[in-house]
Amino acid sequence: MRPVCGILPPKILEKLAEADQPDVREAARETLAVAADFRQNRIDTPSLTTPARPTQFVLTRTVYDTDNSMALPGNEVRGEGDAPTLDGTVNRAYESLGLTFTFFRHVYGRHSIDDANLPLDATVHYRRRFNNALWDGSQMIFGDGDGRIFNDFTLTHDIVSHELFHGVTQYTAGFVYQDESGALNESVSDVFGALVKQYARQQTAGQADWLIGAGLFTPAVHGQALRSMKDPGSAFDDPMLGGKDSQPNHMSGYIRTALDNGGVHDNSGIPNRAFHLTATAIGGFAWEKAGRIWYETMISGQLSENCTFREFADATANTAKQLYNSGSELTAVEDAWRTVGVL
């Protein structure tokens, strides 16, 4: 079953669906209804296998526009190599897809989502006031936001890269989108979304803000981002969103719930913090060593679809040892997972 993965925790939308402002309330309700429809119509697929690895890197981007309708993928508005359009949303999606492809090509030698030059398709202006960004199992979908709580979902590179990495996970570890494996699915998308943003800015681990979705909220919201990898639970504090960011930063705060597939967007804070601690302990550009450890772990073929935090922690430690022997990198990985209560 292909997962439908969105950047927003459903409980934020559920709270907004109770808002006093009719436009905010209706936008949230419509977004929730669309998400439910996507889940209901998911496609059963066998486990995905990567075709033979090509010898050349081929970037093929196509951006579609539904013109605020629900007809996917929409009309093609910019293909690979086309000149920029007059639509900033189209151009941002196109450039972010290219940046993410370039990052994985230059840093990890990966050929697109499937490592076999899979074309990158994205739809923008999906429906009206749609408050989410989605990976539906085959393409990326971006809403314009309602303009009251959320801005355009293409505004930041990390959101686009986050959704694209859900596709990478689909072709590699294949984490089931439920409980700890689902939280890992969300976490690795945050990790590589953050790394693409840092790569674009040429920031070291110490210089980066480690925020996911900074700039997505309008000034009406008391919050700096959707999530903080450095300090899970601190990204926002606003009654419109249901109060304070509820991400735990330690296993002692792990949230056991039937909501959001077992709290995948909340509990991802634990492995997110472990990655931040690893990256800052190692220092330098986070994509070079910490990111390499996480990436090689994802493609190792050793992770189960129902991987637990402990299993993932052990796997990252094993990868660190294989890559860097028993040096400071291994110590950084093990110390990070101990700090968040996983080891």
Residues 180/251, Cβ–Cβ less than 8 Å:
no
What Rg value do the Cα atoms of the chain yield, rounded?
Answer: 19
Structure token pair of residue 251: 């296993």
Q: DSSP string covering 158-199, please?
A: HHHHHHHHHHHHHHTT---SSHHHHHHHHHHHHHHHHHHHHH
Task: Find the catalytic residue in 157, 166, 265, 276.
Answer: 265
DSSP states of 248-277 as a string? -SSGGG----STHHHHHHHHTHHHHHHHHH
Among 30, 163, 180, 329, the active-site one is 163
**Exposed, middle or buried by CB within 10 Å (0-12, 13-18, 19+), for 304?**
middle
Long-range contacts of 48-57 (CB under 8 A, 24+ apart): 48/114, 48/170, 48/171, 48/174, 50/114, 50/115, 50/116, 50/171, 51/114, 51/116, 52/116, 53/111, 53/115, 53/116, 54/111, 54/116, 54/117, 56/117, 57/105, 57/111, 57/117
Active-site residue flag, 163: yes
Task: Please confirm whether the linkage preceding 9 is cis (ω < 30° from 0).
Answer: no
Q: Is 276 a catalytic residue?
A: no
Report, as residue numbers or ranges, the catalytic residues.
163, 265
